[in-house]
Chains A and B, each alone.
Chain A
Amino acid sequence: MDMTLNSLGRKVPLELPGVGSFAPYKSPFAMLGQPGAFAGTQMQLRRPAPARSKVIENIEKAVELSGLKDGMTISFHHHLRNGDAVIPMVLDILRKMGFKGLTLAPSSIPDAHDCIADYIRSGLINRLYTSGVRGELGKLLSGGELEIPVVIRSHGGRARAIEEGSISIDVAFLAAPACDPLGNITGSTGPSACGSLGYAITDAGYARNVVAITDNLVEYPLNPRISIPQYLVDSIVCVQSLGDPKKIATGAARITRNPVDLKIAKDSFRLMKASGILEPGFSFQMGVGGASLAVAKYLGEYMKGKGLRGSFGLGGVGGYMAGMLEEGLFDAVFDVQSFDSTVTSSMQENPKHIEIDASWYASPFNAGCIVNNLDCVILAALEVDTDFNVNVLTGHDGVLRGASGGHQDTAAGAKLSIVVAPSFRGGVPSIKDKVTTVTTPGETVDAIVTERGICINPRREDLLESALKSGLPVADITALKKEVEKLTGIPRPAEFNYDKVAAVVEYRDGTLIDTVYCRK
C-alpha cells in the first residue's frame, strides 16, 4: 500500500484497494473557503406506477424489488441505538438469501451489534464504512479479520461522502417508528419512537432504493410531522417490532456525582465564562454523559441566575438539553439524534425542538452547516496529546473501541471547543506525547480541561490571557503529562503490525487524518 505523511506527521494511504484514492489531511479548512457549487451525486430518480400503498409482504420481497446484488452497498441508521433489532434482522435475511461481499455503510454501529462481526466472518460483508466500531467488532477489525480496511467518517463527513458520491448507497434499510402506507416517515411517535431521524434523512435522499421497515403503520397521511417524505421511499415492510423501546429511548442520563467529573465540568464552565462567550444569543452543544454533560448543570444554573437566554442548543440531544429548552434557556434546539424518551416527547410537543439531518448538522461541503454557528462545544476524549490532538477511536491497546461521531465537525465549527478528560483513567494517563490515533486535530481544539488543570492551546493566546485573568487553574499540558506519569508510570505504546491496515480515519473534508493498524 502506498503511504504518505500528512500534515500531522501521520502515515496515511494514498489509495485503499477496493475503496478508492484519498488525499492526505492538510488543515481543518484547507478545502473550504472556495465560492460556488461543484458536482456531487445526482438525486436518484424512479418511475414507479402510481399506487395507494407501498406495503409489501416481507423483507425478502423488498430486497428482490430493490435489485440488490453481491458487492453492492447497503445502509442503516443507528437512531434505535442499543434497542435496535432491525440491523441484525435484515443482515440475517440477506445472509439466508445468499448475498456476499456487500458494503455495509451505516451511520454508525450500536454497541449491541457484535453480530456484525459474524456477518463479516461469513462473507456477507466485506467492506465497512462507519462512524464507530466497538466491542467484538472492534477486536475483530483490529485483529485484521476484514480484508479491506474500514473507512471511519464523522457524521458531517459521512453526509458529505454520500452527497458527493464517495458512498453510493444502493439500498437503504430504514427503521421507521411511524410510517404511513406511502412511506411518509417520522421517528417521534410510535412504540419504537426514537426522536430525530437526522442520519436517516440523508440516506433517504440519496439511496438508489429505500426500504422502510416499520412496526407502526399509521393511516395516511402521517401527520403533523414528516421527517422523510413519501417520494423518497420505495417499499414498506411491516414487522412485529423494531426493537426494545426501553433501550431505544432510555431514561435521561443523570448528571454524574463523580467528584472528578464534577470538578472538570465546573472548571470547563468557568472557562466558558472567562472566554466571554456567555452573552445573550449564544449557542451550545454538550456531551452525552460524565463531565461533558455535567457542564450543562453549571451552565443552566448560571443562565437562570443571570436571566441569560441562548439562541440555540445543538446535538446529539439528551433530556437535559430538552429540559433547558423547556425552561426557555434557549430559543430553539436543533436535533440530529435524540438520546432518551424526554427528548422524544420534547420533539413531539415543542415546535422549537427542530429535527435536522446530518448534512444540515455538519457537512463541510454545503452552503453552511449548523456547527459553523456553534459558540461552544464540550467534547469527551479517550486520549489527548501535547499538540492537543484528540483520540476517540482506539484504546491504549490500540484496539478500535470508539466513534468519530460529531467530534471533528463540532470542534472545527465551534468558536470555543473544550475537550474534557480526567488526567488519568483506570490508572493510565490520558495525556500522551502522540495519541494512538488522531481523530480530531489539535488545530481545532481550544482547551483540554482535566481535574488537575486547564490546558489552553498555545494557538489561542487570547483565551489563555482571559483564563489567567479570571484566576483559572491553567496548566501547561506537557508539565501535566509529566505530573501524571509520576503517579502512573510511563505506559507502553500500543504495538501494531504496520503491514496491515485495519481502518483509515477520514477527516470531515474527505482527506485522511490517520491510519489504524492491526494489532500485532
Chain B
Amino acid sequence: MKLCRSMLYIPGDSPGMIQHAPVFGADSILLDLEDAVALTEKDAARKMVACYLQDYDFKDLIVTVRVNGADTEFFDYDLKEIIPCSPAAIRIPKCNGPADVLAADKKIEEIEKANSIPVGKVKIHAMIETAVGVENAFFIASACPRVQALTLGGQDLTADMGVQKTKEGWELFYARSRVVVAARAACVDVYDTVWADISDKEGLLKECRSIVGLGFTGKAAIHPDQIETIHQAFMPDEKEFRKAIRIMEAAENAKKEGKGVISVDGKMVDAPVVARARHLLELADLYGFERSGS
C-alpha cells in the first residue's frame, strides 16, 4: 500500500463530503458507518457508502470503511454490503484480541468468495480502543495476513482506562508506544487517534511531530483543514533526507563491491538503518524533494 500519512474521516451519511473526497488532499479516507452515523440512519449510510464505492472514481485515494462493531446488529449487514464493493480495507472497532480479527477475517473471506473477489484483497485495520486491546496489540496485529494496520482509538481507550484525554497526551503515551512497537513487530502500519480541537493547529502539529517520532505511519484527521498540518509533520528533515541519500548510495556501492559492511560518514550502518533510509526517500518523493544536487 502506498504511503498513508493522513486518513480523513468522512461520515458515511454525508454525500456532500464524500463527493469531494479526492479534493481534500488526504492520502486516504475513512468512510464511517459507526460513531458518525445515527442509529436510525445506519441503513442509509451503508447504502450511500456502497453506492459510492461502486460508482465513484476515487482516483488515487485509498478508501477504507469503518463498520459497526461485531457486538452490534449492524456488523453482519455492513460486511455483507460493503465487502463486495472492495474497499481497500475495513476498520473493525474495539478489537480486544486475535479472536475478534479472526472472526471478521472468516466472514470477509466467505463474502469475498461469494463475490468472486480474490481472498484477502480487502484488508483489515484493527482498532485498539480498550486496555485489553493494548495488551493484545501484537497478537491482534499478527493474527492473520489480512491485518494491514493497527489504529488507536484514543477517545474510547481513555474512557476504558477511566482517565481524562488531554492535549499533552501522557495518559496515552504507553498505549501509543505499545501499539507502535506491536505494529512494527508485526510489520503492519499504525495510525494515531484524532486531534479533536480543529482550531488548534499548533497543538495538532506538536502532537503529530511526537507521534511521527514514536514511529506512527499515519494520523487520523477529522477535518480537511488538519491535513496540511499532518503532512507537514511527516515531512522529512532536509538534513535527514540528504543523509538518507548518502546511506542508500553507500548501501548500493557496498552491494556492487560485494562488501557486507556499509559505512557512512565513518560510521557503520546496518540493515534497519538502510531500511529507514529507504522509507525516508519514499516519503521525500511524496513531498517533491529533489534528489540531485545536494
Interface residues of A (CB under 8 A from B): 257, 259-260, 263, 451-452, 471, 483, 486-487
A263 touches B25 (CB 8 A): yes
Say yes or no: is B225 at the interface (Cβ < 8 Å to chain A): yes
A259 touches B56 (CB 8 A): no
Q: For residue A259, which residue of chain B has the nearest CB?
A: B224
The answer for the CA separation of A424 and B20 in the assembled complex, in Å, is 10
B225 touches A257 (CB 8 A): yes
**How many B residues face the partner with a CB closer than 8 A?**
11
Q: For residue B19, which residue of chain A has the nearest CB?
A: A487
The answer for the CA separation of A452 and B20 in the assembled complex, in Å, is 9
The answer for the CA separation of A471 and B285 in the assembled complex, in Å, is 13
- List the 10 closest A-B pairs by CB distance, nearest first: A259-B224, A451-B23, A263-B23, A259-B24, A260-B23, A260-B20, A259-B23, A259-B20, A263-B25, A487-B56
The answer for the CA separation of A487 and B22 in the assembled complex, in Å, is 14
Interface residues of B (CB under 8 A from A): 19-20, 22-25, 56-57, 224-225, 288
Residues on A with C-beta less than 8 A from B288 are 471
Main secondary structure of the interface of B (DSSP, over half): loop
From residue A291, how far is it (CB to closest CB) to chain B in Å?
Answer: 12
In the complex, besides A259-B20, A483-B57, A487-B56, 13 extra interface pairs with C-beta distance below 8 angstroms are A257-B225, A259-B24, A259-B224, A259-B225, A260-B20, A260-B23, A263-B23, A263-B25, A451-B23, A452-B23, A471-B288, A486-B57, A487-B19
Residues on A with C-beta less than 8 A from B224 are 259
From residue A260, how far is it (CB to closest CB) to chain B in Å?
Answer: 6
Residues on B with C-beta less than 8 A from A259 are 20, 23-24, 224-225
The answer for the CA separation of A483 and B20 in the assembled complex, in Å, is 14
Residues on A with C-beta less than 8 A from B19 are 487
Q: For residue B24, which residue of chain A has the nearest CB?
A: A259
B20 touches A451 (CB 8 A): yes
The answer for the CA separation of A451 and B22 in the assembled complex, in Å, is 9
Residues on B with C-beta less than 8 A from A487 are 19, 56
From residue B105, how far is it (CB to closest CB) to chain A in Å?
Answer: 34
Q: For residue B224, which residue of chain A has the nearest CB?
A: A259
What would be 16 A-B contacts, judged by CB atoms less than 8 Å apart? A257-B225, A259-B23, A259-B224, A259-B225, A260-B20, A260-B23, A263-B23, A263-B24, A263-B25, A451-B20, A452-B22, A452-B23, A471-B288, A483-B57, A486-B57, A487-B56
Residues on B with C-beta less than 8 A from A260 are 20, 23
The answer for the CA separation of A487 and B225 in the assembled complex, in Å, is 25
The answer for the CA separation of A230 and B19 in the assembled complex, in Å, is 58
From residue B290, how far is it (CB to closest CB) to chain A in Å?
Answer: 12
Residues on B with C-beta less than 8 A from A451 are 20, 23
The answer for the CA separation of A260 and B20 in the assembled complex, in Å, is 7
The answer for the CA separation of A452 and B61 in the assembled complex, in Å, is 13
Residues on A with C-beta less than 8 A from B23 are 259-260, 263, 451-452
From residue B245, how far is it (CB to closest CB) to chain A in Å?
Answer: 21
Residues on B with C-beta less than 8 A from A257 are 225
The answer for the CA separation of A451 and B23 in the assembled complex, in Å, is 6
From residue A454, how far is it (CB to closest CB) to chain B in Å?
Answer: 13
From residue A424, how far is it (CB to closest CB) to chain B in Å?
Answer: 9
The answer for the CA separation of A312 and B147 in the assembled complex, in Å, is 58
From residue A80, how far is it (CB to closest CB) to chain B in Å?
Answer: 36
Residues on A with C-beta less than 8 A from B20 are 259-260, 451
